[in-house]
Structure 1
């Protein structure tokens, strides 16, 4: 392995609690995959193992990415380490509750208030999730005040954290009571669930394979998911731009790449807003109406115009004076 590859590996796996959490999620992913194949039990018209399968993937990616981001702190590294440790512990608590409630008790996890233990688990789950969000926010603030060596990478990391924190908070939209639940309370009855994923249709209806997003109504899991994974996608885009700099000299200017990353971050925020608006209108992701498609087209054209503007106003570089790729690390 090259020195560069070894350095990346050391960076990714530097924070032991987060790495242990990622390893545990990899094991859970394997177990859940087997469960999807051999276990025919269901919860809310989906495989009992679907939620552990999805959560294990997301959390493994999330924790590995945070482990790498902590290595970008030239100062306040210790504070970043503790923030990462809090995230790891909080997410571990969430996943223990998830496996216990779903795999062992065979009960619905989120929105379930049918019994006293169900309500207690929901409370613990919410507290752990808010703790992980707060610790991630601390890490974002620490990175905001760091001078990172590459301006484009700095924009990608900060933008990714900002969008991810927004996406995580959008998950709160799922926990408000739905109209039919409020109607039950007004009629003097108790609803066994409070909140839900779907808008305009009941939870558990027709959905996309494995991920389960509704194909008949809005689904609030989509903006939550899309926003959360900006944490990986925007830094990956910054890395891609750096790779492309070997073929396109204009990208060797880190200020150009920074402007492109800021454009990508704004476009990503626009995408999160678009899918949130679509879900809140009770519209399926696979059945967009005219206004959703028009807004999406406007977003694409706006981002494309901004990218063209960045590249058009950049003077052609003198290749003789352009630094080699290894100088851009």
Structure 2
């Protein structure tokens, strides 16, 4: 008898979490239409839509990766289970606070709100540590394809770094220290949370926003393998990409570029600068990264093209 879903056996707790997050995404999107309440300048249910989608992607990705392991698989399975439980708890808190009509993050306005936020904070730390354990297990399971290993390993490292950037949000802002309020921490640097922002995402258009590097960093886990998939598909038509070492080098370049962009976005946010209003220094940094990535990529590919041309010429003789 076959399983009703080939994906469920990958890592059942994570895949069940993914199913729950898919349901929550649909339900929250419907609630956005029915419930006209807003919170911090956005529809109140927008937060659960964003978090549910992000957790859905996380759960499916890590479930699939754990299923590929041959060594330390049991350790990784338990770490994945801890992560699934922590993420489920986090979403329970978020939805609970949405129903109650208040914020889930940085909220110390009442003992209950403080307890829920501290519970969620503890679960986030647990998820990060569990992800670190699974990442170590991935490093202990090399495969014959070094390009794929590199994409997955660099993706996990960048993802862990992006997740760790969340700690920058829990610090009291200067304004909060001055007033001694019951909100401790903020997504936005400069203006208070809840100001003008991008539609749905809510990322500030008038100040720095630490959610941007946090989000982009976490999803490096999907971005780097996607880069490799594009290279592997390109290899069907572009001979130079048929070399595993060439693909690996290009993945390294893409990962270094991604990491540099992550650093600049963090720097930009910490300076209180909106992502949609970069100054000259930020544009210059992005330009340098773009030039370095382009030159590195060309130098990686061009010698291979020259070599292949020489081989073809020799064969013709």
> Aligning the two structures, in what range does the TM-score lie when normalised by the shorter sequence?
over 0.9
> Which of 198, 212, 223 is equivalent to 1:208?
198
1:88-237 mapped onto 2 (5 Å cutoff): 88-103=84-99, 105-185=100-180, 191-237=181-227
| In 2, Cα distance between equivalents of 1:261 and 1:215 | 32
**SS, match of residue 216 in structure 1:** coil
* Equivalent position of 1:246 in the other structure: 236
| In 2, Cα distance between equivalents of 1:29 and 1:245 | 36
| In 2, Cα distance between equivalents of 1:193 and 1:316 | 62
Q: Which runs of 5+ in 2 are unaligned?
A: 313-317
* Equivalent position of 1:35 in the other structure: 31
CA apart distance, 1:10: 3.9
| In 2, Cα distance between equivalents of 1:271 and 1:205 | 25
Contact 2:240 2:246 in 1 (8 A): yes
Q: Do residues 303 (structure 1) and 293 (structure 2) align? A: yes
| In 2, Cα distance between equivalents of 1:94 and 1:310 | 43
Deviation per residue, 1:137-165 (Å, 9 max, x gap): 01111111222231111111011110010
Deviation per residue, 1:1-30 (Å, 9 max, x gap): xxxxxxxx8468611111110110100100
Contact 1:13 1:64 in 2 (8 A): no
| In 2, Cα distance between equivalents of 1:144 and 1:55 | 28
| In 2, Cα distance between equivalents of 1:271 and 1:11 | 33
CA apart distance, 1:71: 2.2
Runs of 4+ in 1 over 6 A off after TM superposition: none
CA apart distance, 1:79: 1.5
1:3-18 mapped onto 2 (5 Å cutoff): 10=6, 14-18=10-14
Give the direction of change, closer, same or farther, for the CA distance of 1:162–1:91 in structure 2 (3 Å limit).
Answer: same
| In 1, Cα distance between equivalents of 2:75 and 2:230 | 30
Q: Do residues 54 (structure 1) and 50 (structure 2) align? A: yes
| In 1, Cα distance between equivalents of 2:215 and 2:153 | 18
Count of paired positions = 306
CA apart distance, 1:115: 0.7
Q: What is the TM-score normalised by the length of structure 2? A: 0.93
CA apart distance, 1:73: 1.3
CA apart distance, 1:35: 1.4
* Equivalent position of 1:259 in the other structure: 249
| In 2, Cα distance between equivalents of 1:224 and 1:194 | 18
> Which of 15, 20, 25 is equivalent to 1:24?
20
Q: Do residues 76 (structure 1) and 72 (structure 2) align? A: yes
Deviation per residue, 1:236-288 (Å, 9 max, x gap): 11111111110011111111111111111111100100110111111111111
| In 2, Cα distance between equivalents of 1:12 and 1:284 | 41
* Equivalent position of 1:44 in the other structure: 40
| In 2, Cα distance between equivalents of 1:128 and 1:316 | 53
| In 1, Cα distance between equivalents of 2:112 and 2:144 | 50
